[in-house]
Amino acid sequence: MAKSAEGLIVRVLRDEEQTILIVDDCEDDTLLTRLAFEKAEFNASLHIVQDGEDAIAYLEGQTPYQDRGRFPLPTLVLLDLNMPRKHGFEVIEWVRAQPEFRHLPIIVLTSSMRGSDVEKAFELGATSFFVKPGRVDDLVSMIRCMRAWLHFSHFPRVGGAARDGQDAVLDAH
């Protein structure tokens, strides 16, 4: 840990300390995403839920996600848009309405290439908008870029108090 210019504790997270919540109803896409993380050598802890309602339940720590040891708060959410029960836009809107999650990075990862979806996602508070590539190698490249972005980004602690009991700014690594 190191002191930042503002005197806050800055903590570098190793890949294995990263928790990424993947929200996607397509099993084939989630399998490809897992494979891409492996090929990109991004050893984050991946947690997958099938729809927006499960994403909200995960973030709130509702059953079956109440054990934060098994289901830690994510450092990043990868969110599909078109899902049953709750659409990705509804998830973004809900997340941004929760004070403890207002800074949680949300990357939309969808097959939609509609400009209106991009605009709406950003209006609701998405951090980034990625279109799912057609080739696994391109998805691996995307995951590598995401890993680098996390490495160089600083984020406020998500979900309240810092894990180590200090006020902290995360330097995701």
Structural domain that includes position 45: 18-144
Is residue 120 domain-resident?
yes
Is residue 158 domain-resident?
no
Is residue 47 domain-resident?
yes
Is residue 2 domain-resident?
no
The string of pLDDT tens digits covering residues 126-154 is: 999 999 998 999 999 999 999 998 888 87
CA distances to 70, 77, 79, 98, 151 from 171, in Å: 23, 16, 22, 22, 7
Is residue 161 domain-resident?
no
Is residue 95 domain-resident?
yes
pTM of the model: 0.83
Which distant-in-sequence residues (6+ apart) come within 8 Å of 124 by Cβ? 89, 92, 93, 96
Two structure tokens written together for 42: 């991004």
Is residue 165 domain-resident?
no
Q: Report strand pairing: 2-3 vs 9-13.
A: antiparallel
CATH number of the structural domain spanning residue 29:
3.40.50.2300
Residues in the chain predicted with pLDDT less than 50, given as ranges, are: 1-5, 7-11, 161-173
The number of domains in the chain is 1
Is residue 171 domain-resident?
no
The string of pLDDT tens digits covering residues 116-127 is: 999 999 999 999
